[in-house]
Amino acid sequence: MSNNKIKPIREKIDAIDHQLLKLIQKRGSLAQKIGNLKGLIDSKASFYKPSREAEILRKLVRINEGPISDKQIQYIFKEIISSCLSLEEELTIAFLGPEGTHSESAVIQHFGSSPRRSARSTIEDVFHQVRTGEVNYGIVPVENSSEGVVNATLNCLADEQIKICGETYLAVHHQLASAKKFKPSEAKIVASHPQALGQCSKWLDANLPNAKRTATSSTAEAAQYSKTNPNTLCIVSSLAIQKYKLHHYEKNIEDFSGNNTRFLIIGNIEVKQTKNDKTSFLIQTTNQPGALIELLAPFHKRKINLNRIETRPSRESADAHNFFIDSDGHHRDVKLKQVIASLKNSGASVRILGSYPANS
């Protein structure tokens, strides 16, 4: 009886799948038409529009009635958008490698799986690839909820004339695996990046107290290390388990749930306004008492929320301080224009690192 009831439901699913396929292909054809028209206007213009994509995904989430979650709807349509964009142009995205790291996972999360991915050995090289036009965009980590700010990224933002044109937050989960299968209790070594080892230290203390902890330059290198060293476990990403065909023992062994890393998308484009934006500033002031209070006053006066403030001495002048500030809003909004004018009138040096859709 149950099979008789299931069969007609499956037939309905098959029919819907055929409709979805036709609609997806129709969307691809329309994307190609837009690409041809844009090519006639400006052959060098990029077809990737962060503001347009953000508005599409937000609208879909607003009208989503379930049962599929908002997160899954975003994932599904991100891949559809990515596939359609690949019909118009092939994007290349540089990221901090090697392959199989959380940085590569962030690329897939933000851009979908269609763009070509270029693993680079340093954050500085990611910026270099974007500056020279070797890639269309780069993606770099800027802060982790448990480990704090990534200094190399802030230094590059200060030194390079490259725009921030997006952000994405990646939930960081650590997986216990190995290249060769054996009982985890027999492990002599657990290898991973120092941050991953630190973020899993309580779990390791409780479950593998006798295994030596070996630091590697990345979680992906830990996977390779496991291949050449017997009885070695590695702490890696889910993507690394797929890429390096590892044996998976335990999932999500991090000590604290909610661990995430914020990544910035960098490029050479100006991003249009949406209804929910962020702006990143680099503001330089003289090193004197009350400098930060004066800097924050124009934001407070106009009730503009600040998401992050990072301060450090200027590398250009011993008498100045740099403030990296993320605020709500787009630099073309009336209130932020007033803030920028007020800061400049006070003598501060104001540089807009980029305005972009806030991660939703």
User: Residue 102 sits in a domain of what CATH number?
Assistant: 3.40.190.10
pLDDT for res 359: 87
Q: Say if CB 247 and CB 176 are below 8 A apart.
A: no
pLDDT for res 41: 67
pLDDT for res 35: 80
pLDDT for res 318: 73
Tell me the residue range of the domain where 219 lies.
175-250
pTM of the model: 0.88
- Whether residue 30 is contained in a domain is answered as no
Low-confidence ranges of the chain (pLDDT < 70): 1-2, 39-45, 360
Do 322 and 352 sit in the same domain of this protein?
yes
pLDDT for res 173: 92
What is the spatial distance between Cα 132 and Cα 343, in angstroms, rounded to a whole number? Answer: 32
What is the spatial distance between Cα 230 and Cα 314, in angstroms, rounded to a whole number? Answer: 48
pLDDT for res 43: 59
pLDDT for res 128: 97
Task: Count the domains in the chain.
Answer: 3
Do 168 and 179 sit in the same domain of this protein?
no
Do 106 and 165 sit in the same domain of this protein?
yes
Picking from 267, 300, 335, the residue at the C-terminal end of a domain is 267
Q: Say if CB 175 and CB 241 are below 8 A apart.
A: yes
What is the spatial distance between Cα 144 and Cα 261, in angstroms, rounded to a whole number? Answer: 4
Q: Say if CB 222 and CB 236 are below 8 A apart.
A: yes
* Beta-ladder partners of 176: 235, 250
- Whether residue 212 is contained in a domain is answered as yes
